[in-house]
Amino acid sequence: MYFSKHNIFSKIKDSDSYYIVNLLTGNADILDPHKANEIISGNFTDVEEYQSKGYLADEKTEKKLYNEKYLDFIDTRDNDEIQIFFVPWYSCNFNCGYCYQSEYDNKFSLPTKEVIDSFFQYVNTEFGNKKKYITLFGGEPLLQGNKYKEIVKYFLEKADTADLDVAIVTNGYSLAEYMDILRTKRIREIQVTLDGAGEIHNQRRPLKGGDPTFHKIVEGIDQAIANNITVNLRVVIDKENIYGLVELSRFAIEKGWTKSSYFKTQLGRNYELHYCQSGNSKLLSRIEFYETIYKLIKQYPEIAEFHKPAFSVSKFLFENGELPSPLFDSCPGTKTEWAFDYTGRIYSCTATVGKSGSSLGTFYPEAYLNSGQVNDWDERDVTTINECKTCSLQLACGGGCAAVAFNKTGSLHSPDCHPIKESIGLGISMYFNKELV
């Protein structure tokens, strides 16, 4: 019997208690300092209980369970819905300081009907028997002007004919102007970014030329919700705007957005993807990001009405009363995510789409995939990354983002580590606080 290598054991934030989580067996407990000390010293008194929960394990039996759960994971993922991105152009009307595409060098042209038809043909041939939906991405897919609107309209009609839902990732500036088209189509959700309430947002996400964008985006969000179209509001956060989350939360609450079933939110940490950002002293590390959000929510609970952070597995455990299944792979690229662009090229995901040298093949003028490269992506999970194989956090972390790992090390099969222990410690404190006191 040994102390399972899949135990995640650490202190709960702002408490003397500890937690233990084992995603392989699906067990979790809060331990008082006395019990925690038994674990630290290795002198267990609850041996039977710990064995039944898998905290104390026999290596051979544990390996067998690991293999079974791995096969379950692969099976489940094979049946998961695929998200297929399409970039109609990389042009954008905004000048966001942190745009990771701003240094991409893609020649501008508009997609012809032939290209769009080929895209839908390819999707039908290659993913015909899979559950799937399309996401329009950019650049900015909802640009002002009839020539853009006609293309988006044609694209959405093709999606309707193919019985496919479409999500749209937009800066939201022209959302209201596209509403006449969107309200008649199968729109699953619209992701819009607001980086704060008013001025902070305008400073970070102005139009090219510097004009403000906040009010027009808010008008678009209002109209989408009024038309029963789900808005997924994203906030990109760094040191510059993290404290503005309080005001933005209050704004969304006053607007009535947070009460609508057509409104959801996500917080994205501003991070360095491909290029050094000029103001990168603004970036928060992952742990700084989680800790500041935690502190802010404690001080201003209204933020939780706007957004409830996952804190790794904590929120899931709180809401479902059980742990999620083990996560052998957190990167969906080439598995449940693909990205296509108007030049006819195919990429693994949104992090690589349009980036020179990252294309994995083409769907137009001819269909071709580099199977060696695709396999490389496909095989990446915690069982193929050396660092992850022995890491106790692997089944909560899943190895992180392949594109970030590649940019850091030059190898896809390298880790993109997340501060899982700290994150769960914050989450258990936040969601299970009452049980602790």
Which residues contribute to the site for ligand SF4 (CB under 6 A)? 331-333, 337, 348-351, 382, 385, 387-388, 391, 393-394, 397, 399-403, 415-418
* Cα–Cα distance for residue pair 5/399, rounded to 1 Å: 16
Please, what is the minimum distance in Å from the beta carbon of residue 396 to ligand SF4? 8
- Please say which residue, 85 or 251, places its beta carbon nearer to ligand SF4: 85
* Cα–Cα distance for residue pair 31/171, rounded to 1 Å: 45
Q: Where are the alpha helices (DSSP H) in 208-356?
A: 214-226, 245-255, 286-299, 302-306, 314-320
- Please say which residue, 52 or 409, places its beta carbon nearer to ligand SF4: 409
Please, what is the minimum distance in Å from the beta carbon of residue 411 to ligand SF4? 13
* Cα–Cα distance for residue pair 269/151, rounded to 1 Å: 32
Sign of CA dihedral 343, 348, 350, 354: negative
The distance from CA 89 to its chain's CA centroid, rounded to whole angstroms, is 22
* Cα–Cα distance for residue pair 244/195, rounded to 1 Å: 8
- Please say which residue, 217 or 388, places its beta carbon nearer to ligand SF4: 388
Please, what is the minimum distance in Å from the beta carbon of residue 412 to ligand SF4? 9
Please, what is the minimum distance in Å from the beta carbon of residue 390 to ligand SF4? 8
Please, what is the minimum distance in Å from the beta carbon of residue 416 to ligand SF4? 6
- Please say which residue, 244 or 399, places its beta carbon nearer to ligand SF4: 399
- Please say which residue, 345 or 418, places its beta carbon nearer to ligand SF4: 418
Whether 254 and 212 have beta carbons less than 8 Å apart is answered as: no
Please, what is the minimum distance in Å from the beta carbon of residue 318 to ligand SF4? 22
- Please say which residue, 218 or 331, places its beta carbon nearer to ligand SF4: 331
* Cα–Cα distance for residue pair 206/221, rounded to 1 Å: 17
Whether 310 and 427 have beta carbons less than 8 Å apart is answered as: yes
Q: Which amino acid would we find at residue 356? A: S
* Cα–Cα distance for residue pair 373/293, rounded to 1 Å: 38
Please, what is the minimum distance in Å from the beta carbon of residue 40 to ligand SF4? 21
* Cα–Cα distance for residue pair 74/59, rounded to 1 Å: 23
- Please say which residue, 118 or 336, places its beta carbon nearer to ligand SF4: 336
- Please say which residue, 89 or 271, places its beta carbon nearer to ligand SF4: 271
Nearest to 349 by CA among 397, 402, 400: 402
Helix 175-182 crosses helix 146-161 at what angle (to 10 degrees)? 40
Please, what is the minimum distance in Å from the beta carbon of residue 302 to ligand SF4? 31
Residue 320 token pair: 């479902």
Please, what is the minimum distance in Å from the beta carbon of residue 331 to ligand SF4? 3
- Please say which residue, 23 or 192, places its beta carbon nearer to ligand SF4: 23
Whether 140 and 63 have beta carbons less than 8 Å apart is answered as: no
- Please say which residue, 346 or 382, places its beta carbon nearer to ligand SF4: 382
Q: Is 40 exposed, middle or buried (0-12, 13-18, 19+ CB in 10 A)?
A: exposed
Please, what is the minimum distance in Å from the beta carbon of residue 393 to ligand SF4? 5
Please, what is the minimum distance in Å from the beta carbon of residue 82 to ligand SF4? 12
Nearest to 134 by CA among 87, 74, 79: 87
Q: Which amino acid would we find at residue 60? A: K
Nearest to 383 by CA among 69, 77, 80: 69
Sign of CA dihedral 315, 320, 321, 327: negative
* Cα–Cα distance for residue pair 383/315, rounded to 1 Å: 26
| Number of Cβ atoms within 10 Å of the Cβ of 82 | 17
Tell me the pairing of strands 82-87 and 345-347: unpaired
- Please say which residue, 171 or 350, places its beta carbon nearer to ligand SF4: 350
